[in-house]
Chains A and B, each alone.
Chain A
Amino acid sequence: MKPDIIIGHPLLTPAVFSAYTERAWPKDHFVDRFPWWYPWFRSHYALLPGDYLRKLNLAHGEAIEFYYRKDIPMKQLLQ
C-alpha cells in the first residue's frame, strides 16, 4: 500500500517510502540515501510544485519536500 503524499527531506531520502513495497524488504533498507530503487520511486512520485510549498512557511532554512503519486491527479489530493 503506497501513501498518496510523501514528505521528505532532500537528504533524508524521500525514497524511504518505497519501503512500502515488498521489493524493499529485505533486499535493502530505508536508511540508504540513494538506494538502487530511487529511480523507481521517482517514476511513481512527483515533487509537489512550489506554489504549495510556499504556503508552508519553511523554518530555519531546512527544506521539506512533498511528493505526490503520479497516477492520482494532484487536485484530488489537495484542497
Chain B
Amino acid sequence: MALDRLRNLANSEKARRLADVLIVCILVLMNAWIAYQLWGVLSDDFAITFRVSYNFSIGRGLVYNPGSHYQSTSAPGYAFLLGVIGWMFGKGSITIAADLLSAVALFAIGIGTYVLGRKRHWFLGAILAISVTAIPLVWWAYDNEFLPQLALVVWGYVLMERRPTAAAVLFAFAVVVRPDAALALAPALGLYIWRYRKFPVMPAIAFLCVILPCAFLVWRQYGHFLPDTMGAKAARLLAIQRHDKRGTTFFGHQVLQWMEGYIPLPDPELWLYLAVLGAVVLLIRLRITSLVALASWIALYYAFYAGYYKVYETWYYAPVGLGLAMMVSCIFFELCRWAATPKKYARIAASTALAIVAVLIADQLYAYFHSMVSTAFILNASTGLSFLVLGILAFGVLAFFCWLSVKYLLPWTGGEKGKFSAPVASAPGIVAACFALDLMAGFLDGDLRMAGSRATLVRTTLYTEAGKWLDLHVRPGVTVGYTEIGFIGWNAPNVVIMDPLGLGSPAPREFIQRAMKWPVRTQR
C-alpha cells in the first residue's frame, strides 16, 4: 500500500510541479559550478573567432587577416555578435561575453531538454537535463559557438509544436550562428509535414526573413555564403588517411578497422551510421516522440561530420554528448518502467548493463594504451593521477546505486521485488552508476578538458608571449606562418598570419582542394 502511494505521488501533478522548481535550482547550481571551473579556459581555435570579432569591432570587417575577404570562422553569426560586444565594450569583453554566452546556453540546453523529456515523464526530463549539463563531452565546446547553437536548436524543437513560426526564427538564428545548423531543419520540416500534411508557409517566411539579409551581408563581405573552413577539415581527413588513423580517437572505429583485415567489412563508418539510426528507431519504438527530432538531428550531424572524422575530437563532441546523455537517460528510464514485467526486464537490463560495462572496460584499456593520442570516448578523466581515487569512489557509487535501485526505484516503478534476484534488479543501478561515474569524473577532475590541461596552459602562455613579441617586432605587411593561429593571432592583431590548413588565409586551400579533387575556387 505504501508503495502504491509512492507510485501515485510520483505521477501526480504535485510531484511534477515540485520537479519543475527543483530542476531549475539544480541546473542553476550545476551551471554556476561549471562556469566557475571553465571560466576563461580557452582552446586555441576559439581565439581565431575572437580575432575575427575583434577585427570587426575596430572596423576591419569580419575577417581574420586585415584586408582579406576570407571567412576564417565557421561561426559568422557568433563572431558578429561578439564583434558588436567588442565594439561596445572593448577587446577584453569579447572573451568574457563568450564565457557568459556559453553559461547561459548550457543552462538553456538543460531547461530545453527537461521540457522535451517532460512531455514523456518528468523523471525522464530530469535525468536528461542533469546528464546533458554534467556530461564532459558537452563542456568541450564551452566558450565557442557550439553551445549557443545547440541551445537555439533545442529550443527550436521545444517550440516546434505550439509556435512553429517562433521555432523557425530560432532555427534561422542557429544557422546564422553556425551554418551547419541547417541540418536541424530537416527533422523539423519532416515532422511538421508528417503531422499537419502541409508545408509550413508562415514559418518558412519567418525563416527567410532572418536568413536572407544575413546571407546578403555574408555574400557582400566574402563573395559566397558558406565558411571557408571545410578545406581545413578536409586537410585533417587527408592527414588521418595517410597516417594510420592517428587523428581517430574513437576506439570502436579502430577495432572495426583492425577487423577489416580478417573479415570482409563494408566501410566502417556504415556501422556507426546504422547504430545512430537504430537509436532514432529505438526512440520511436519507445514512444519518446518529443526527443525524436533532436535525436534525428544528432544522427544527421554525426553522419555529416563522421565523413571528416571531426566528430571524434574536441568540441565536435558536444552534440554527440547530448545524444549520449539522451540515450542513457532513455535506456535508464525505460528499464525502470519495464520493471513491471520481470522476464523482459531481466533480459534487457542484463544485456544493457553487460554491454555498457564492456564498453567502459574496453574504453579504459584503450585510453590507457593510447592516452598519448587524445582523450578517449568516455571516462576520459579517470585515466590520469585521479584513477585511484575515482576507482575507490566507483565502488561506492556502484554499491549505492544498486542498493538505491533495488530498495526504492524498482518497486516504485511497478516491479515486484520477490520475483527475480537482486543482482538482476540492480542492473539499472549499474547503468546509472557507470554514467554517474563518468559525469562525476568530469566534475571532479579539473584537467578533464584538453584546454584546461597543464600542457595546454603552458602552450597557451608560450603562444601569448610569441604573439605579443610578433606584434612588437614584425614590420607591417610581413606574413607569419604557424600551425595553431588562435592565441598567436589574438595577441598579434596587426600581423598577417597564415596556417597550412588554410584557416587564416586562402593560399594553401587550393592545394587541399586539388588533393581532395574538389572544384578549386579562387578567392577574390
Contact indicator per residue, chain B 450-476, by CB within 8 Å of chain A (1) or not (0): 000000001101100110011001110
Query: Does A31 lie within 8 Å of B508, measured CB to CB?
Result: no
Pick the contact of B514 from A12, A25, A52, A59 — CB < 8 Å? A25
Asked if B482 is an interface residue, CB under 8 A from chain A, the answer is yes
Asked if B239 is an interface residue, CB under 8 A from chain A, the answer is yes
Q: Please measure, in the bound complex, the distance between the C-alpha atom of A64 and the C-alpha atom of B488, giving whole angstroms.
A: 12
Pick the contact of A77 from B465, B466, B474, B488 — CB < 8 Å? B474
Task: Decide if the interface of chain A is mainly helix, strand, loop or mixed.
Answer: loop
> Which A residue's beta carbon lies closest to that of B479?
A3
Asked if A7 is an interface residue, CB under 8 A from chain B, the answer is yes
Query: Does A17 lie within 8 Å of B500, measured CB to CB?
Result: yes
Query: Does A5 lie within 8 Å of B461, measured CB to CB?
Result: no
Task: Decide if the interface of chain B is mainly helix, strand, loop or mixed.
Answer: helix
Contact indicator per residue, chain A 30-65, by CB within 8 Å of chain B (1) or not (0): 110000000000000000000010011111101010
Kindly provide the distance from the CB of A61 to the nearest chain B CB, expressed in whole angstroms: 9
Q: Please measure, in the bound complex, the distance between the C-alpha atom of A76 and the C-alpha atom of B481, giving whole angstroms.
A: 17
Which residues of chain B are near A29, meaning CB under 8 Å?
238-239, 242-243
Q: Please measure, in the bound complex, the distance between the C-alpha atom of A30 and the C-alpha atom of B479, giving whole angstroms.
A: 19
Contacting A at CB under 8 A, from B473-503, are 473-475, 478-483, 488, 498, 500
Query: Does B478 lie within 8 Å of A77, measured CB to CB?
Result: yes
Asked if B515 is an interface residue, CB under 8 A from chain A, the answer is yes
Task: Number of B interface residues at 8 Å Cβ cutoff, please give it.
Answer: 33
Which residues of chain B are near A52, meaning CB under 8 Å?
473
> Which A residue's beta carbon lies closest to that of B241?
A29
Asked if B19 is an interface residue, CB under 8 A from chain A, the answer is no
Asked if A11 is an interface residue, CB under 8 A from chain B, the answer is no
Kindly list the 4 A-B residue pairs having the minimum CB-CB distance in the complex, ordered from nearest: A3-B481, A26-B515, A19-B500, A25-B511
- 23 CB-based A-B contacts, threshold 8 Å: A1-B498, A3-B481, A4-B478, A5-B478, A6-B481, A7-B480, A19-B511, A20-B507, A20-B508, A22-B514, A24-B500, A25-B512, A25-B515, A29-B243, A30-B500, A31-B239, A56-B469, A57-B465, A59-B458, A60-B462, A64-B466, A76-B475, A77-B475
Residues of A within 8 A of B (CB): 1-8, 12, 16-17, 19-20, 22, 24-26, 28-31, 52, 55-60, 62, 64, 76-79
